[in-house]
Structure 1
Amino acid sequence: MTKTILVIGTFDTKADELDYLIGRIKAQGGAVLAMDVSILGEAKVPVDVTKHEVAAAAGETIAGLIALGEEGEAFERMSTGAAALTRRLHAEGRFDGMIALGGTMGTDLALDCAQALPLGVPKYIVSTVAGSPLIAPDRMAADVQFILWAGGLYGLNPLCRSSLSQAAGAVLGAAQAVEPPAFDRPLIGMTSLGSSCLKYMKRLHPELTRRGYDIAVFHTTGMGGMAFERLALAGHFACVMDFSVQEFVNAEGGSLVSAGADRLTGAGRSGTPQMVAPGAADILDLAGWQEMPDRFRDRPCHVHNRLIKSVAFTPDERRALAVAMAERLAGAKGPTHVFLPAGGIEEWDRPGEAAHDPEGLAGFIAAAEAALRGRVDLTVLDCHINDAAFCDAVLARLDAWVAAGIVPPGKAAA
């Protein structure tokens, strides 16, 4: 079946480049739905979605946007219209993958369009600022792909053609090869931080599979948590097991390694039954190249690799984090059960290990218990989060929820 690619760009100033990209997609057997998001000029090649339709989707007119006299504000409103149309056209089955082309303006708009699409829909942005720190992590769709538009700021040239031809192959190939999520069996969303720091998934995964569930484990290093939260908010999970909250404490501590401001809210807002534990809430992970925040400068720093370095929180900071976490969870609309493992919350939080801090952990658990008691269901466990006893408690809670009709029972594999 022929796959159709939505091509987004300013067809007044970048018509040659967009026309070349479209030509490469069609030469490989793909079809194209072209969306013009320019404001001042007219499209120099035929398009399927005009700039006037894009503006109208945002409740605007092109004349009104020009009258604003502010390029940034005008293009931001066009972004609203482009994202709305992208969402609607995909819901109507009009295209199978998205690709957008631009500099900073076009990339800004493309980020909104990519976020408008579900996880699993191929989405590519060919950008002069691909990989740049200008792009905030919370602007990126969880599965968006960036391709650097090398030498492509103005006009076609051999470098530009190389980038665009690769992009054409990438988006069409992805649309042809993708296996969209089927959700044939109830899906459990779980978070973890690798398998050496947090090991519970090794015990839980086979037991949950045996019960008839699919399990998706998300790596809590920023983008993983972002994808997890969006799927939880959309109601894709039968149950959430959010046992690694490091992205939340990272955001509270000023780290760039976060999943944005909405961490620990998706399941609560959608009413999805959730179990939560404070896995790895004792350490702050920073980007390897990020300058150390002033309040952490005098603390020992562990450089995990060139991408990540870590410092420890003080007991006072940990108590404040417990209260902040409790406030997020207390607003949940659905069943919420918090497990507090008093024996440790990550593998290096054991006697003799570098992050073992009994005073800090005791203060965290006391503060969390005080803030949560009477607001959500709560269990303090006399074990480490990586112990079998933790997994036994989680499975017992799941079985009780299934028996009560709170979580759907699993299904045998097809």
Structure 2
Amino acid sequence: MSRPRIAVLGTCDTKLAETLFLRDQIIKAGGANVLLLDVGRTPVQNSHIDVPNSELALLKSADGPSSMSQMSRADYIKYMIECATPFVAELFQKGEIHGIVSAAGSSGTSLVTAVMRNALPVGFPKLMVSTMASGDVSHLVEETDITLMYSVVDIAGANSVLDQILTNAAAAIAGAATAYYRSRNEGASRNAGAEQRRKRIAVTMFGVTTPCVDTIREHLETKYAYEVYVFHATGAGGKAMERLIREHQIDAVLDMTTTEIADELVGGVLSAGPQRLTAAAEAGIPQVISVGACDMVNFGPRDTVSAEFTSAENKRLLYEHNPAVTLMRTTPQECTRIAEFIASKLRAKAIRPDLVKILLPTGGISMISTPSQPFYKPDSDAALFDTIDRRLEGSRIEVRRVDREINDKGFALLAAELLVEVIRKKEAEEQSDNVGS
């Protein structure tokens, strides 16, 4: 393929003219071919549709199109997501598309963004022009890199505002797809040579663990020439890291900041969900885990903290990190639950427990939990440390206590070097297997 190809997804039974306009503008922008997929509910006849909805629907059921027309809107959307996702995924895996774009209202946006999230990896160009792009879009994007462009006016008929926005979207996806196409070709050329790919290391960070992570990043980049990806532990950050691990885009993990677990268990606003800590364990890649910022649960402005935590009977220790973020200190009971979550996930999911190491900074697990700081509560930290020790006993997962605080340079360097040690252990095993075969 001498030029990139862009998949255009459209609900052609309701947005045919607008989808065709978007298609034509991509072609006019030059440099890219187009593959138009109809993800609409009822069949449409048009010579520019390359993959009709009947072809997609038949992938799932022999009577696809006729049964879809009888479905509720919600059922049709779920059905078409299940039809289009494997089709688009196969196009990507074969290297037949290099970008994806759509323009839609609420239903079409829900459908197409689900296909983008489920079929395509982080880094693949994804652009959604939507009437929904100006509100809360977290459910559309989740932890992926979908780009949303607000349509301003409804996607309903031609007018100068919508035409210009669709023209801009066409140019944007054409440019992104061209850059992606070139980078893939250049990467293939490099891989064909002798250059060895750098190890890709994920590190989790929060504001109160930043000094630790900065030291780790600089050390791994300068001494070992590793490529370091830092993930902000805001819920979406943890989910994004887990996704990239599952996409085989990460080789090892320094999970220094596991605070998202506290939010998941206690009811904070920055949870990464119940599957946190599973991807690396299931992949069997080297990982060093700590308990950074497990001394806190995150909420929005102070007046948004639940009455459950501010009542006279249960008044909790709160700290205003900034006007938009209020932190609540975890209790010994909550720290016990956090530790049990960590231990149970690793016991159940780690296929290579010998490649998993846990470091516990007994001098303080965040910038504000050291002596003289507002979240200094040794009883809570002791509950966290003791439970992890006890629950992982006999698991082959090493738990090491270090008499330093998490942001101490010595602790950060110890964590970095421990990960390098585990990486080299795995490399040695792989080399031995290759010699043996």
After TM superposition, give the deviation of residue 362 of structure 1 in Å: 1.4
Partners in 2 of 1:362 and 1:19 — Cα distance?
63
Q: How many residues align?
A: 406
Q: List alignment gaps of at least 5 residues for structure 1.
A: 410-414
Partners in 2 of 1:407 and 1:258 — Cα distance?
36
Alignment equivalent of 1:229, drawn from 214, 225, 242: 242
Q: Deviations over 1:227-285 (max 9, x none)?
A: 21011123332211111112222222223423333211110111112111011111112
1:66 aligns with 2:83: no
Q: TM-score, normalised by structure 1?
A: 0.90
Partners in 1 of 2:235 and 2:225 — Cα distance?
29
After TM superposition, give the deviation of residue 160 of structure 1 in Å: 1.9
Alignment equivalent of 1:333, drawn from 310, 326, 351: 351
After TM superposition, give the deviation of residue 293 of structure 1 in Å: 3.3
- Tell me the SS of whatever aligns to 2:77: helix
Equivalent residues of 2:6, 2:99 under 8 A apart = yes
Partners in 2 of 1:100 and 1:273 — Cα distance?
39
Partners in 2 of 1:57 and 1:325 — Cα distance?
41
Larger mean CA deviation between 178-187 and 350-359 belongs to 178-187
The one-letter amino acid of 2:425's match is A
Alignment equivalent of 2:401, drawn from 367, 375, 380: 380
After TM superposition, give the deviation of residue 36 of structure 1 in Å: 0.3
1:400 aligns with 2:417: no
Could you say which residue in structure 2 is the equivalent of 1:175?
A: 177
Could you say which residue in structure 2 is the equivalent of 1:128?
A: 131
CA RMSD of aligned residues (A): 2.5
Could you say which residue in structure 2 is the equivalent of 1:190?
A: 203
After TM superposition, give the deviation of residue 219 of structure 1 in Å: 1.4
Alignment equivalent of 1:308, drawn from 298, 321, 325: 325
More helix per residue: 1 or 2?
Answer: 2
After TM superposition, give the deviation of residue 368 of structure 1 in Å: 1.8
1:155 aligns with 2:166: no
Could you say which residue in structure 1 is the equivalent of 2:146?
A: 144
- Tell me the SS of whatever aligns to 2:7: strand
Aligned pair in 2 of structure 1 residues 348, 131: CA closer, same or farther (>3 Å)? farther
Partners in 2 of 1:50 and 1:290 — Cα distance?
52
Alignment equivalent of 1:213, drawn from 217, 226, 232: 226
Equivalent residues of 1:345, 1:384 under 8 A apart = yes
After TM superposition, give the deviation of residue 311 of structure 1 in Å: 2.1
> After superposition, where does 1:253-264 map in structure 2 within 5 Å?
253-264=266-277
After TM superposition, give the deviation of residue 10 of structure 1 in Å: 0.4
Aligned pair in 2 of structure 1 residues 203, 32: CA closer, same or farther (>3 Å)? same
Partners in 1 of 2:219 and 2:138 — Cα distance?
40
Equivalent residues of 1:235, 1:267 under 8 A apart = no
Equivalent residues of 2:18, 2:155 under 8 A apart = no
1:88 aligns with 2:90: yes
Equivalent residues of 1:151, 1:159 under 8 A apart = yes
Q: TM-score, normalised by structure 2?
A: 0.85
Partners in 2 of 1:80 and 1:256 — Cα distance?
30
Aligned pair in 2 of structure 1 residues 282, 48: CA closer, same or farther (>3 Å)? same
Could you say which residue in structure 2 is the equivalent of 1:36?
A: 38
Larger mean CA deviation between 247-256 and 32-41 belongs to 247-256
Larger mean CA deviation between 81-90 and 209-218 belongs to 209-218
Q: Deviations over 1:331-390 (max 9, x none)?
A: 211221111111111111111222222221112111222122222221111111111231
Equivalent residues of 1:34, 1:48 under 8 A apart = yes
Q: Deviations over 1:138-168 (max 9, x none)?
A: x635211111122124222233223322222
Could you say which residue in structure 2 is the equivalent of 1:200?
A: 212
Partners in 2 of 1:75 and 1:290 — Cα distance?
38
| Percentage of identical aligned residues | 27
Q: Deviations over 1:299-326 (max 9, x none)?
A: 3544444653322222211211111121
- Tell me the SS of whatever aligns to 1:236: coil
Equivalent residues of 2:128, 2:147 under 8 A apart = yes
Partners in 1 of 2:415 and 2:287 — Cα distance?
11
Could you say which residue in structure 1 is the equivalent of 2:4?
A: 3
Equivalent residues of 1:58, 1:78 under 8 A apart = no
Q: List alignment gaps of at least 5 residues for structure 2.
A: 188-195, 431-437
Partners in 2 of 1:142 and 1:233 — Cα distance?
13
Aligned pair in 2 of structure 1 residues 43, 253: CA closer, same or farther (>3 Å)? farther
> After superposition, where does 1:269-348 map in structure 2 within 5 Å?
269-288=282-301, 291-297=304-310, 298-305=315-322, 307-331=324-348, 332-334=350-352, 335-348=355-368
- Tell me the SS of whatever aligns to 1:191: strand
The one-letter amino acid of 2:126's match is K
Could you say which residue in structure 1 is the equivalent of 2:54?
A: 52
- Tell me the SS of whatever aligns to 1:184: coil
1:117 aligns with 2:124: no
After TM superposition, give the deviation of residue 174 of structure 1 in Å: 1.7
- Tell me the SS of whatever aligns to 1:344: coil
Aligned pair in 2 of structure 1 residues 14, 289: CA closer, same or farther (>3 Å)? farther
The one-letter amino acid of 1:203's match is T
Partners in 1 of 2:220 and 2:428 — Cα distance?
13
After TM superposition, give the deviation of residue 46 of structure 1 in Å: 1.8
The one-letter amino acid of 2:120's match is L
Aligned pair in 2 of structure 1 residues 351, 45: CA closer, same or farther (>3 Å)? farther
